[in-house]
Structure 1
């Protein structure tokens, strides 16, 4: 994230978090934010439309209202309209991700990015959660999973800047390095 984006994103995410806390809507807003991030990720056309400075704010608002309908909390809808009015709607994804980071901090939860060769079942996800909890001392663990068939087997867990590579590919790489050292 650029410095300018950070200067824009952080205050809006903090304001959203403050509003969510005051109205006891932190989890509801998180649900809304995850949905909005998914929509933005899946629709480059929408992202382009919202970021286009030539398109009138009223037109952007009409599209956003249709897009979110009654699915999001009215306060979240108002927040989206504010972002459009201030020409900041293009930062919605980044603001949403920053909000989720603030919420994790608020809930003493960590985000673990898990990459595996196949989809993890519920038991495997719980095992990863417990391992991450014991490593970090966090009260909760939020998993973000990715599939990468090139790993050959095992998983890679990333928590902040810490990476735990228990993939078969990682193990083979470590064996290769240790053999070269001999």
Structure 2
């Protein structure tokens, strides 16, 4: 049910963004809204409180966000609250962001290395990913995990490219355990 709600509302916001030619602006606004939402759990709790009426909740939305976000996004948040879907704001925003990324062919890559990569290595990696995928841009996320010993683990969506030494050792161990000595 939650996926259906986020899809319906996320698609509606995306269609509105396309119609008003505000895709880029709303994309950035929704990403900022999502980080604000995560940082201010009290706001989400306040909007989820069943003792507070919808009129008061929409008043809170107006007071907090009016003049700080576009009218399109403000009215969209008000509609969500009026329909009692404020618990889904996080999922709706995430769905909208992923829809825009797909529309703009922006990939999200999560790269894990054993040591911190240098700037030129990061640039080379991003260039190689752009050449080998259908994406025109990447949002790169880097992390360091010494446990992989060496190599890289790259995750793009549900695809994983694992060239880590740790995995190679594991595969070698598995292959050797299948050998039977006579």
* TM-score bracket for this pair, using the shorter chain length: 0.7 to 0.9
Q: What is the TM-score of this pair, normalised by structure 2?
A: 0.81
Task: For structure 2, list consecutive stretches of 5 or more residues without a partner in the other structure.
Answer: none
Deviation track 1:32-67 (CA, whole Å, cap 9, x = no partner) reads 111121122233333332223332223333433344
Task: For structure 1, list consecutive stretches of 5 or more residues without a partner in the other structure.
Answer: none
- Superposition pairs of residues 17-32 of structure 1, within 5 angstroms: 17-32=14-29
Q: Does 2:162 align with 1:176?
A: no
The correspondence for 1:57, drawn from 54, 58, 72, is 54
Aligned to 2:164: 167
Q: Distance in 2 between matches of 1:117 and 1:45?
A: 38
Aligned residues: 179
Q: Bigger shift: 159-168 or 146-155?
A: 146-155
Aligned to 1:75: 72
Q: Distance in 1 between matches of 2:58 and 2:118?
A: 40
1:164–1:33: structure 2 CA closer, same or farther, 3 Å change rule? same
Name which one, 1 or 2, has greater alpha-carbon Rg.
2
CA RMSD of aligned residues (A): 2.6
Aligned-pair CA distance for 1:109: 2.4
SS of equivalent residue, structure 1 residue 15: helix
Q: What is the TM-score of this pair, normalised by structure 1?
A: 0.81
1:164–1:28: structure 2 CA closer, same or farther, 3 Å change rule? same
1:150–1:13: structure 2 CA closer, same or farther, 3 Å change rule? same
Q: Does 2:137 align with 1:129?
A: no
